[in-house]
Amino acid sequence: MSKYVLIYKGFERFWHWMQAILVLFLAFTGFEIHGTYSFLGFHEAVTYHNIAAYLFLGLTIFAIFWHLTTGEYKQYIPTFKNIKAQLDFYLFGIFRNAPHPTKKTLLSKLNPLQRLTYFGLKIVLIPATILTGILYMFYRYPTRYGIEAINISSLKAIAIIHTASAIMLVTFLIVHLYLITTGTTITSNLKEMLTGYEEIEEEEENKNGE
């Protein structure tokens, strides 16, 4: 027997969608700054990119606070249990309509492969993007005493890391869009992140003490 359970809380869904919107907007303005195309104009793209960057930084800080105070950070602790089965499912099993090797519960929302991916995303990729962005933004900035500069000999390496991190984030979003379709139905994962509710087996729920 199964029933619908609130898996994703309100802030969790808000954070997920706002993060996606900001990353896409940052990529859109960032690639225009790099001269890939012209839409807003260089100066406007820089202005909007910086505004979105501050919003993304604020959202990230608040999300870190929320994860630490609620204990939800435990969802991202990596595990190698069943990781081979999960990889086989994504590569082969999904095309043979094989059953999903792991089941989602309140205490375990992410499968082993997702845990590793999101752990790397939150510990390496997003911090690298934010830190290089801050260094790039404040390399030289005006103050009441003149122009202050961070003691960096060149922005070249920072720019490369920032751009590479941005490209990897966009790549992650593209892959993420595909993985959305790998639920019990092609739209089930999307509906879960919109409503927060997922249909789970009561037997599995009870095993997790809920």
Which sequence spans correspond to the domains of the chain?
2-207
pLDDT tens per residue across all 210 residues of the chain: 567 777 788 888 999 999 999 999 999 999 898 888 889 888 999 999 999 999 999 999 999 999 899 888 888 887 777 777 777 777 767 777 766 767 766 667 777 778 888 888 888 899 999 988 888 887 765 555 555 556 666 678 888 888 899 889 888 888 888 878 777 777 877 888 888 887 766 554 444 444
What pLDDT is recorded for position 209?
A: 43
What pLDDT is recorded for position 206?
A: 47
Helices H, strands E: what count in the chain? Answer: 8, 4
- Is the Cβ–Cβ distance between 3 and 184 less than 8 Å? no
pTM comes to 0.76
Q: Quick one: 99 exposed, middle or buried, by C-beta within 10 A (0-12, 13-18, 19+)?
A: exposed
CATH architecture of 2-207: Up-down Bundle (1.20)
What pLDDT is recorded for position 207?
A: 46
